[in-house]
Amino acid sequence: MSFGRIPENNNRNQAPYGQPYAGPQFQQNANQQPQYGQPYANPQYAQPGMNAGTATMDANLAYSYEKAQRVSITKAYAEMAVGLLVTAAVAVFANASGALIAFLSVAGMFGWIGIALVQVALAIYLGARVMSMSPGKARAMFYVYAALMGFTLSSIFLVYDLGSIALVLLLCAGFFFALTMLGLTTKFDMLKAAPILFVGLIVLIIGQLLVSWLFPSDGMMQLMAAIGVVLFAGMTVYDAQSTRAIFRQYQNQGPEMIQRVSILCALSLYLDFVNMFLYLLQLFGDRE
């Protein structure tokens, strides 16, 4: 049986054989193909807007996810900014009040090492447990860490000129912003470079210790500072992309989880900024 064109009949008034319902109400145009396999092909059953509506819903859903992700990333950078403000405020206060000098005169070098160890322990604990603690506790611990960092960073006022500190701070902020935009807009996947960055960080720490003990020269310290700037520039791009990826992973797990992720990402970005600032200060800061 063929489902092609219906053969013409010489007698147009006579119904073709095999078509018992050939009245005008049942006749089809000879040029029109019967729509076999489409039981709902009549106009009252057609849904011409179905595909367009589905595409619109998908587009709106994708836009909602993208907007929520932008808001979450902005929240992480806002948390980082607040941490930096806490650090700056504590550093200025400790320098103006002489709190750091008073502390060192009482506790000595062991007190300085003790504060450094407390900071390292607090950062490790916060990074490891932030996803299981309440957002308020995580935020409080992050601000405590930022305050301790500000107390130790107040020592830069004893070494560098105030004008150069402000200039390097502005330079670091602009550099950090540019690197963040690069990380969020580039198609290059920096997340694949995580092992290289981790190894580079370990090598940098060991190299600084060796240079300080075995080759304590200004030239070698400047070289280590330049390597540190390059390394933390890569870390900044990496953490910008990592922040976006982490929020994408946890975007459907409620506002509390988003707040925890914001603190976790803010801590990483905060450390990138502080370390880059210190290395830039070693390179371009004017000593008193």
59 falls within a domain: no
Q: What is the end-to-end Cα distance of the chain in Å, rounded? A: 100
Is residue 220 packed enough to be buried (19+ CB in 10 Å), middle (13-18) or exposed (0-12)? middle
The total number of residues written for the chain in this structure: 288
**What is the rounded CA–CA span in Å between residue 123 and residue 83?**
13
In a domain, 224, yes or no: yes
Q: Is residue 256 part of a domain?
A: yes
Report pLDDT digits (tens) over 168-189: 999 999 999 999 999 999 888 8
> pLDDT at position 67, please?
57
Tokens 């008034």 correspond to: 13
Structure pTM? 0.76
Is residue 94 domain-resident? yes
pLDDT of residue 150: 96
Take residue 68 and report the two structure tokens written for it. 């929520």
Listed as ranges, residues in the chain with pLDDT below 50 are 1-50, 57-58, 60-65
Q: Is residue 130 part of a domain?
A: yes
* Residue 226: both structure tokens together: 């330049």
* Count of structural domains, the chain: 1
Return the SS3 of 78: helix
* 44 in a structural domain: no
Residue 50, domain member (yes or no): no
pLDDT score recorded for residue 249: 86
User: Domain for residue 65, yes or no?
Assistant: no
Task: Decide: 15 and 22 in contact? Cβ < 8 Å.
Answer: yes
Identify the pLDDT of residue 69.
61
Tell me if 264 sits within 8 A of 80, measured CB to CB: no
Domain of 131? 70-284
Residues whose CB falls within 8 Å of the CB of residue 175, separated by 6 or more in sequence, listed in order? 233, 276, 280
Q: Residue for token digits 């992973």?
A: 249
